[in-house]
Amino acid sequence: MDSETYTLFFEQLKRYVTDRLVPAEEEVIQNNAIPDAILREMKELGLFGLAVPEEYGGAGMNTMQYIQVMAELSWAAPAYRTIISIGNGIVTSAIANNGTEAQKQEWLPKIASGAVASFAITEPDSGSDSAALRTKAERKGNGYVLNGSKRYITNAPFADVVLVMARTNAENLPKNGHISAFLVATDTKGVTIGSPDKKMGQEGGQIADVYLENVEVPGSALLGEVEGQGFLAAMQSLNGGRLSVASAALGMARRALDSGIRYALDRKAFGQPIANFQLMQAKFADSQADIYAAECMLKDACERLDHGEDVRLKAACVKLFISEMCGRVVDRVVQIYGGAGYLREYEAERFFRDSRIFRIYEGTSEIMQLVIAQQLLREYGHNVPRS
């Protein structure tokens, strides 16, 4: 998107987040869903197609623009980002980079106009270990039959299309060549979405199991119409996904610190605002330093990715640091609130619950540590297996 158009869009988004999305947070939390009216508005604003190429009806934002938008959107409740992030992220990336032209023509305009997307790789017995993936796709005529189950699938209760990772080979092949990707509409016979899981936080952003029982899809549902490319397509999108999660954590940390400062200015003890106390000021300072460091890291990684650099190492560093940083900031904010921070009627308690997942999805902090360490060892010429 050209800079002038982007600037106008971003200013409009900031007003929309402040004036519309934040006031509706309580309704989102109470109903565990974004109101239909707001969903329509988000579609009209083009939020579902931010990263979709312009030729397929999207805004065509680069990484830096998209991540800035995600961070700004994440000032409000996480559900608003969640509903659009999978389509804008891994699904659009996988289709744009690995799909056939027919698949691009079919799915990208739908996503840009508001179709909700999910990505399904995790299973009851397969998370970080892709070799344990059990969902199978067996050839039948010119198509495939899918059988298996997927767990913790974001947006599944709302999804129109799911990018499903399935085995097309019984053996574990090098570089996960046994895994293929399939674009499966959720209204396909044999697709069942489980009940939404009850989570610690992030109400309104729903996850659920996806069950595939003798689901017949045509050969054109196979991403790129090439077997064995599913895991590669997912990994190519992983850097952007990690930066997106980092942007969400950054947005939440900014909101939490703002909330903590406002509370400290209003709350009085010993005849003065608690914001005057140096130990409170230390929490403000440490949090702002954390946030500034996060902003610099995220900006650097996004710019490098936009310039075509391999940012696998840097994206892992960014995701590790910012997700952990967000946890530190919201913990300080709860402490600033004191006893009130433990009560549901104050937003600090919600920030604490909502932030915890950032250290788990799109690669846990422990997996990020392994990715970083192993990449460093390779740079020193040490041969280590890739995580």
The catalytic residues are: 362
Helix axes 78-86, 36-44, angle to 10 degrees: 50
- For the chain, the first-to-last Cα distance in angstroms comes to 35
How far, in Å, are 22, 32, 346 from residue 26 at the CA level? 8, 10, 12
Q: Can you tell me the distance from the alpha carbon of 327 to that of 353, in angstroms, rounded to the nearest whole number?
A: 10
Q: Can you tell me the distance from the alpha carbon of 364 to that of 36, in angstroms, rounded to the nearest whole number?
A: 32
Helix axes 78-86, 63-73, angle to 10 degrees: 150
Q: Can you tell me the distance from the alpha carbon of 213 to that of 323, in angstroms, rounded to the nearest whole number?
A: 36
Report the candidate in 117, 111, 89 with the shortest Cα–Cα distance to residue 240: 89
Q: Which residues of 313-331 are buried (b: 16+ CB within 10 A; e: fewer)?
A: bbbbbbbbbbbbbbbebbb
Helix axes 63-73, 278-306, angle to 10 degrees: 150
Report the candidate in 324, 305, 254 with the shortest Cα–Cα distance to residue 73: 254
Token pair for 192 = 């069942």
**Could you give the maximum distance between any two Cα atoms of the chain, in Å?**
79
Contact status, residue 319 vs residue 248, Cβ threshold 8 Å:
no
Token pair for 255 = 């909101």
126 beta partners: 123
Q: Can you tell me the distance from the alpha carbon of 345 to that of 335, in angstroms, rounded to the nearest whole number?
A: 15
